[in-house]
Structure 1
Amino acid sequence: MSHRSGASGSYTLSRKAKWFSSWNSYLFVLPALVFMVVFIGFPLIYNLIMSFQNVNVYNLSGKHDFIGFSNYIKSLKDPVFYTALQNSVVFTVLSLFFQFTIGFALALFFNLKFPGRNLFRSLMLLAWMLPVVISGTVFQWMMSGDFGVINYFLQTLGIIDQPVNWLSEGSTALLGTVVANIWIGIPFNMIILLSGLQGLPDHLYEAAKLDGANRLVQFRHITLPLMRPTILVLLILGIINTFKVFDLIFIMTSGGPVTSSTVLPIYAYQMSFTTLEFSQGASVSMIMFLILIVISIVYLRMSSKEEVH
């Protein structure tokens, strides 16, 4: 009898230990879960609810009526929305193309062994480590029409005859913000691609050399195929981060002149804090969120296909 009671007691203790061990794992992720719910989940849900209501400066503290998809329809009928969407696409595509191309070239260069490689690689990170406020202000000064460094060099080289107001003219304002964003994003692309290059097996390149393959053939048939997962992740992260850039453009042009450099984050900000149409600004933010969700789904499908192959 005592033997059975002892076995039953040990079984109960074992079950409690397993239960505590299983729940103990969740305790480690609880702080991160609370953080995500409070600072990500709650604002997202509140913004979603606001996008279906009529919230403006006149009824901010009062009762908010449910108006369905009226804010979304109003935003989609606004010509400025499509201008901002077009600017966002141009800003994202140009930034990613040059960030990735220059970053890949630098990654290939720093993957070689030469004296001072680590020092120069560390100096390249300064552009990424600087606060965006400082970078935007510096580029704003460099592109100013009266005393900008860029105009000085272009006039010295004889490329232009008179100073150009790069950030004050509609034809060049968005291009100026693209140049600044390219400079900021190159180090990040370089570091990610360089880490991928350093993880590639050396014996494949040695075998290719024995077969007479030159560097271009090695890059095309060895480097690019093996770097495809890293490149895919980098491009998806780049699209998400670049598509929602707000601070750099706001510092340099504030979306102007007129709407020439207005992207979707700037447009949502203007709806919420300039015209004080908070619900319409929320609807634009949700449209941006849906666009990024679609891009993320495309990435997940592509990555799953990569794993299958």
Structure 2
Amino acid sequence: MFYFFQCNFLLTITVYILTFLIGLPANLLAICTFFKKLGDKPSPNDILLFNLTASDLVFLLFLPFKMYEAAVGMKWYLSQTLCSIASYFFFTTIYTSSLLLMAIAIDRYLGLAFPFKYRLLRKPLYAAAGSVIIWLVSAAHCSIVFITVHIPDLNATLPKTVCYENFTEQQKKILLPVRLEFFVVIYMLPLLVCIFCYINCIYILYSRPHISKEKKQRAIGMALCTLTIFLLCFLPYNLSHLVGFSSNNSPSWRYYTLLPSTLNTCLDPFVFYFSSSTFRESKTVSLLKKWCCFTQKTKKSDTELVTVAE
């Protein structure tokens, strides 16, 4: 049992630390790039990506609370109010990201399917308004955290030492149906919309011979990145909602489904790269490209020298 606990602890804390160390600098680079673009002539895509980056940074800001929770043996010795706040922002950013990825997919599909009509309607103001609506929708949904945690438990005699776990029957009557609605409305719906949009984007691009190969490859890369985020990062956690509703109990393994959700912040920069010329052409990304090319050339030269020597 002790060995099992140690393995779980090491896995959890390792994933959280790596996510923080990789995700924070990548998203800081992205938000600086998009922030500069907002002061110039931002496209709707830039505004959506800026909000996606902001969502990732809020997520990373509250990730240390999860690190603390893992470090003390999955217990919570801080106040329950702080637990509610940390959980609220943690979950809100997960669903904000899924809805923003859907909005980005819709923007790209409409731009390709109806280029002339959509160009007349495609205004930054609409993207800004859409982003605000997305934040409000995810924030309103996740307010269930406060409602659930602060339902009075008349049978409780000792203070709780866990955060957003071990729910009473009264709490589960409210929480489990809401989680099912999360699964259907703000996970499955965005996923299906993204699949529809990117399949059609790729079809449209490959049906037009004058479109460059690079643009087609970026569309495939964007589709694969988005699908990976939905299936690898978001599916396990959202699947726990479906299982919890079916069994009328929060699954014991639910906490560990949050681990792949954290990887979203490391994969989103790939979305920025494939979907935004602003991010691709930023100085830091350009330097990284040059460094990678230089490294590959150096390795190739070393290989050639070894071959000649032989």
Normalising to structure 2: TM-score of the pair?
Answer: 0.30
Q: Which structure: greater helix fraction?
A: 2
Q: Which of the two has higher C-alpha Rg?
A: 1
- Determine which structure has greater relative contact order: mean sequence separation of CA pairs < 8 Å that are 6+ residues apart, divided by chain length: 1
Query: Taking structure 1 as the reference length, what is the TM-score of the superposition?
Result: 0.30
